[in-house]
Amino acid sequence: DQQVKQNSPSLSVQEGRISILNCDYTNSMFDYFLWYKKYPAEGPTFLISISSIKDKNEDGRFTVFLNKSAKHLSLHIVPSQPGDSAVYFCAASSSGGSNYKLTFGKGTLLTVNP
């Protein structure tokens, strides 16, 4: 049973436009959400996070939105740049769980075309 779902395996966007990556979760115990970016031949790197007490968190060109009632979060990248081309993983965790782990989605490959 996949608890974190990224239903779009890939997304292609023009440089300068907005990229929107989506993530859905099923476990209502999740209260902390993160986005990671991964380039080929490298480990994932942390991008941005959001706690369940917020519905928005912004860091430069990156904004994460959380809709708890819909169990949905999204990452907005504005404006998109060719260097943003990477695989983006959504991850979730529960601070009250006995196994403090991150549960990852399968990832979305973002391609930003010049």
Contacting positions for other proteins (CB under 8 A): 32, 34, 36, 41-46, 49, 89, 91, 93-95, 99-107
User: Strand pairing partners for 11?
Assistant: 110
- Cα(24)–Cα(43) distance, integer angstroms: 23
CB contact at 8 A, 78 and 59: no
In the bound complex, what is the minimum distance in angstroms from residue 110's beta carbon to other proteins?
15
Residue 85 backbone dihedrals phi, psi, to 5 degrees: -60, 115
In the bound complex, what is the minimum distance in angstroms from residue 104's beta carbon to other proteins?
4
Nearer to other proteins, 42 or 114 (CB): 42
In the bound complex, what is the minimum distance in angstroms from residue 20's beta carbon to other proteins?
20
In the bound complex, what is the minimum distance in angstroms from residue 13's beta carbon to other proteins?
22
Nearer to other proteins, 3 or 15 (CB): 3
CB contact at 8 A, 111 and 63: no
- Cα(10)–Cα(44) distance, integer angstroms: 17
Nearer to other proteins, 17 or 106 (CB): 106
What is the sign of the dihedral through the CA atoms of 17, 49, 99 and 38? positive
Nearer to other proteins, 32 or 65 (CB): 32
